[in-house]
Every structure is written in C-alpha cells, then in structure tokens.
Structure 1
Amino acid sequence: MYVAPHRHGMVQDHVALVEIDLTGELMIAAAAASEDRLSPDRIDELLDVEAEAGAGDGEA
C-alpha cells in the first residue's frame, strides 16, 4: 500500500479559506431563515458588503 509522504510546510490559500468561511456563514443563515431564499440585502449584510456609490447605474 502506498502512503503519500507528509508535507513539512503548510501551504494555505488564504483567499480560499475566507471564501469557505463566507460560504459557511451563508449556509447557516439560509438554514435558519424562515423564508425560502435569502434576500440580496440579507446576503450583502452577511458578507459585510457595502453598496458602492453609483453601483448599477449603467456607467462603466
């Protein structure tokens, strides 16, 4: 039986870890919600997103 050698250094993708944490927060909130879906405002609140000035006004 082959066993892969142990890696001595830990490699971490910090962006991936943050995304996993945020996904977990969304899953917990969705499971606890009384409605079928989380509203976009609730998702933004959970992800700590602030509306950008001029967002969605069609200007690039």
Structure 2
Amino acid sequence: MAPVGGTAVQDHVALAEIELCGELIIAASAAEDRLSLESIDQVLRVAEERKD
C-alpha cells in the first residue's frame, strides 16, 4: 500500500531506463524484422553518450 501524505520519491535513473525501454518497444513494433545492434544503439543514443 502506498504511503499517505505525498512522500513520493523519484528515482531518475529508473525513470530514464523506463523511457528507453519504451522507445525500444516502439522501435521494435514499427520494424518489419528484428532490430539490428546498430538500430538498438541508435534508439538508445549510444553514440551520443560516447561523444560526451
């Protein structure tokens, strides 16, 4: 049961992971075949992280 009193805690890492999973699900559902590793990296913005 959720605590009463509005003591919600946000886990920003978990929220980011959920968002990325959602983006992967959307990309996979739009694809005609399995996503390639390169496509997955693009959806997850791996190249952007490597630049930084």
- Percent same amino acid at aligned positions? 55
Residue in structure 2 matching 1:38, options 17, 35, 38 = 35
Q: Give the TM-score normalised by structure 1.
A: 0.69
Q: Kindly name which structure, 1 or 2, has the bigger radius of gyration based on alpha carbons.
A: 1
Aligned-partner residue type, residue 47 of structure 2: E
The higher relative CO (CA closer than 8 Å, separation ≥ 6) is in: 2
User: How far does residue 15 in structure 1 lie from its aligned partner after superposition?
Assistant: 0.4
> Which ranges of 4 or more aligned residues in structure 1 deviate by more than 6 Å?
none
**TM score, norm. by length of structure 2:** 0.79
Question: By percentage of residues, which structure has more helix?
Answer: 2
User: 2:26 & 2:15 partners in 1: Cα distance?
Assistant: 17
Unaligned runs of 5+ in 1: 53-60
Match of 1:19 among 17, 25, 29: 17
